[in-house]
Chains A and B, each alone.
Chain A
Amino acid sequence: MAQHDAQMTGAEILLKALVDQGVEVIFGYPGGVVLPIYDELFKQNRLRHILVRHEQAAVHAAEGYARSTGRVGCVLVTSGPGATNTITGLTDALMDSVPLVCITGQVPTHLIGNDAFQEADIVGITRPCTKHNYLVKKPDDLARTVHEAFHVAKSGRPGPVVIDLPKDVITGRGEYQPPSRMKTKYKPQVKGDLKAIEKAVEMIAAAKKPIFYVGGGVVNSGVAACQLLTQLVRMTGYPCTQTLMGLGAFPASDPLSVGMLGMHGTYEANLAMHGADLIINVGARFDDRITGRLKDFAPNAKKIHIDIDPSSINKNVMVDHAVVGDCAHILEDMIKVWKAKQCRPHEKALKEWWAIIDGWRGRNCLHYENSNKIIKPQYAIQRLYELTKYKNPYITTEVGQHQMWAAQHFKFEQPCHWMTSGGLGTMGYGLPAAMGVQVAHPNALVIDIAGESSIQMNIQEMATLCQHRLPVKVFILNNQYMGMVRQWQELIHGGRYAESHMEHHPDFVKLADAFGAVGLRATKPGEVDDVIKEMISVDRPVIVDVRTDASENCFPMIMPGMAHNEMVLGPEENVKVEPGSDEGGMVLV
C-alpha cells in the first residue's frame, strides 16, 4: 500500500526528527526497550553516539555540550534503571537552566502500570525535575513531540525536557512531520516592554552608586547578549559583578569588573552590593548564596531586575522595577534608549563611588600566604591559569573548595568557557561535563578542576574518554578531605571532622594508567609548572594529582546567616559560628 510505504517506524521518525533539529551528537547508553533505536543508529552515520559508562554522566555530558555551544544537548537511555539514573543530571540542568532533550525508553503502552520488567513512572518521577515532559502514546505523535520538546528546551528560560517512549511507539509505524508543521502554544515573552526599558534606563542614568549584577541568564541568552552587556556596562562606566554562573559574561580583566559576588565572592563586589543605591540585575536570580541575610541585603539600593522568567522576579527579593524578556533584546533596546536620550552617568558621584570601591579593592581579598614547601590550592589554580590562558581553555569543575578557588583565581574573558554546577552543586558533574565540552570542541584544551572526593563520583567516565579519544585533563586539587565540608566543620561545628576525611583514596596516577590515560603528580610547589606543561603537551586524557595543603580554607566567606558587610576575609580573623544560625536561609555545601 502506498500510504503504508510513506510511513516510518517510531525509531526512524525519532532519528529523522533529531537530525531535522540539528542534533549531531547523542550521549547515551543502550538497554532492552531502546534497542530498536540503537538498531537505527547503527544503520546511519549522521548522528554520533557517545557511549558513556553511567547514565548520570550522559546528562552532565550533554550539559557540558549545551553550555559550551549554546545548543540543545541530547541524551538517550533505556527504561527503568537507565531512566532513573538520569535524575541527578536532569535536576542539575533544571537548576542551572541548561537546555536538554532526554529520551527515555518505556515499557509498551499496554504494560504501563503493571510493574512490568524495568518499568518506572518516569513521567511522574521527572515532573518536578524537568521543564516539561512527555509520554508519547502513538507513533503519529512522535515527530511533533520531538520538535516541541526542542522548542520548549531552548525557548524562554532553558531547561531539560524528557520524552518517554514506550516500546510499541518505537516499533510501530506512523507519519513523519517536519519541524515547520509543528504548532505550539508555548511562546514565552522575548521582547521587553519599551516603556519599562525606558524607565530602567532613566533609573540607571540617575544612579550615584550603581552596580551591575549579572548572572547565568546572560550566558544563556548567548554570546551576543554578553557583548551587548559589556557594551552597556562600558558606556556607563559602572562596576560590574558576576555570579558563579555569570562568570565570563563580562571580561574578568576589564577594570570595571569587581569579580564574583556572594558567599565566596570578593570583598569589593559584596561591599559594593551592600553600599549601592542601584542594583541592575541582568539574568541573575537573587540566590541565597549571593544575598546572605535577606533583611540586610543591599539595604539602600533600588533594584532593577531583567529576566526572561517572571517567576524569578520578586521570588527572594522584592525589586523596584522589572523588565521581562530575553536580555539580549532588552540590552539592545537599553543601549538604543541610552544613546537616544544622550544619557550621561553622574560624573562626580561615579568618581567618588569608584574611589570607595578601589579602597575595598586595595584589601586584596583573594590574597593568600604562599609557601615553598607545600602546594597552596590557590597557587595551583593561578599557575594553571597563567600557563593555559594562551589556549583559551574550557574549564569545568566538580563541587567544593576547588570549585570556589577556580571561580576566584581563573579569569574568564569570554562566555561559555566555564561550566560548573551552581544551583544543585553536584559532585561528579565536572568530568562528564568536560567530556561533553570536548566532544563539541575536539581541538580545544578542556580541563576539569576537581577535588579528590568529587572525582570519584563519576570516575568511570575515564573509560569513555579513552574510548572516544577525548583528551580531557583532570586537574585534581587533592587535599585528602572533602575540603568544603571540613571547612564548615572547622568554622561551624567546633572542629569535629565527622566523616569528611577519606581514609583511603586510590592512587590517581595508577588509576589513570589502568584506564589507559596518563597520570601525573605534583607534591611540591616547584613541580606544579612542570606537570601543567606536561599535561598540556599530552594528546590523551590526563589525570593530574596535585597534593595540596589539607588545612587551607576558602576565603573570603560570608558565614551562614550573615550579611554582605560582615564577610570574613581570612583565617587571621579566626571566626567561629554556632550551628543553627540559619536566618537568611543560607544552606550548607
Chain B
Amino acid sequence: MSNEQDIERHTIAVLVANEAGVLARVIGLFSGRGYNIESLTVAETDTKENLSRITIVTSGTKMIVEQIKNQLRRLVPIYKVADLTTDGPHVSRELALVKVASSGEKRVESLRIADIFRANVIDSTNESFVFEVVGATEKVDAFIKLMEPLGLVDVSRTGVAAIARGANPL
C-alpha cells in the first residue's frame, strides 16, 4: 500500500467550456492553492459542443491530488474531470521540436540518434537541424539529454496529451 505522504504523479483530463478565461481559472486555482503543474496542454476538441480538453500532469500526496480534482470540479465552466492515472490504463504522448547546431562528427551523431528515436528532421541548414520527436515524456526527455553534448540550442515541447485505453470516451 502506498503511504499517505508519498508524492504521486497524476495525469488529469478536464473537459471545459471553450470560453474566455477558463484556462486562467484553472491556472489560478493551481497557483492560488500552491499545487504543482508539471505539464498542461489545452486545445478545442469538440467544435459542435464548443468544448476544450485540458490535460494536466500534476504531483502531490493522495490527499492533495484528491483536492485538486475536487477543486477543479467546483469551477462552473468545467464539465468533467477524470484522473487517467487511477481510472485505468491510458496512453500519453508528447511532441518536441529540438534544434541542434553542430558540424562534423557531432552532426552525424545527432542524425544517428534521431534515427534510433524515430525523430524526423523537419528543418535543416548547413549548420543545424530541427528534429521532431514524439513519445512518452521519458522518451522525449532522453532524446533531449542525448542531444545536449551534440549542439542542442533550443527546445519547444507541447506538453502531454493523454487518453484512456479502450473504447470508451471521457
Q: Which residues of A contact B (CB under 8 A)?
A: 123-124, 127-128, 131-132, 135, 152, 157, 185-186, 309-311, 313-315, 318
Contact = CB atoms under 8 A, between A and B. Distances in A.
A370 B132 CA distance: 81
Interface stretch (B69-77, B85-93, B156-164): B69-77
A363 B21 CA distance: 55
A127 B28 contact: yes
A109 to B, nearest CB: 12
B104 interface: no
B142 interface: no
28 contacts: A123-B21, A124-B24, A127-B24, A127-B25, A127-B28, A128-B28, A128-B32, A131-B76, A132-B75, A132-B76, A135-B20, A135-B21, A152-B76, A157-B74, A185-B79, A309-B70, A310-B70, A310-B73, A311-B67, A311-B70, A311-B71, A311-B73, A311-B74, A314-B63, A315-B63, A315-B67, A318-B4, A318-B63
Contacts of A186: 76
A186 B63 CA distance: 25
B66 interface: yes
Interface in B14-60: 17, 20-21, 24-25, 28, 32
Nearest to B79: A185
A313 B24 contact: no
Given A185-B79, A186-B76, A314-B66, 12 more contacts: A123-B21, A128-B28, A131-B76, A135-B20, A135-B21, A311-B70, A311-B71, A311-B74, A314-B67, A315-B63, A315-B67, A318-B4
B19 to A, nearest CB: 10
B142 to A, nearest CB: 37
A127 B21 contact: yes
Interface of B: 4, 17, 20-21, 24-25, 28, 32, 63, 66-67, 70-71, 73-76, 79
Contacts of A128: 28, 32
Contacts of B25: 127
A157 B71 CA distance: 12
Nearest to B17: A185
A185 B76 CA distance: 8
Q: Chain A CB within 10 Å — which of B4, B32, B63, B74 has the most?
A: B74
Contacts of B17: 185
A131 B28 CA distance: 13
Contacts of B32: 128
Contacts of B67: 311, 314-315
Given A124-B24, A127-B24, A313 B70 contact: yes
Closest 5 CB pairs of A and B: A311-B70, A132-B76, A310-B70, A311-B71, A128-B32
Nearest to B68: A311
A19 to B, nearest CB: 24
Contacts of A127: 21, 24-25, 28
A128 B63 CA distance: 22
A152 B74 CA distance: 11
Nearest to B32: A128
A132 B21 CA distance: 11
A103 to B, nearest CB: 17
Nearest to A151: B76
Nearest to B76: A132
Contacts of A313: 70
Nearest to B63: A314
Contacts of A185: 17, 79
Nearest to B21: A123
A579 to B, nearest CB: 24
A186 B25 CA distance: 16
B17 to A, nearest CB: 8
A319 to B, nearest CB: 11
Contacts of A314: 63, 66-67
A310 B75 CA distance: 12
Contact of B74 (A123, A124, A135, A309): A309
Nearest to B33: A128
A186 B17 CA distance: 12
B107 to A, nearest CB: 46
Nearest to A161: B76
Contacts of A135: 20-21
A153 B133 CA distance: 47
B79 to A, nearest CB: 6
A184 to B, nearest CB: 9
A83 to B, nearest CB: 16
Contacts of A131: 76
Contacts of B4: 318
Contacts of A315: 63, 67
A357 B33 CA distance: 39
Contacts of A310: 70, 73
A309 B17 CA distance: 21
A151 to B, nearest CB: 10
A135 B20 CA distance: 9
B89 to A, nearest CB: 25
Contacts of A157: 74
A158 B74 CA distance: 11
Contacts of B66: 314
A311 B63 CA distance: 10
Contacts of B71: 311
Nearest to B31: A128
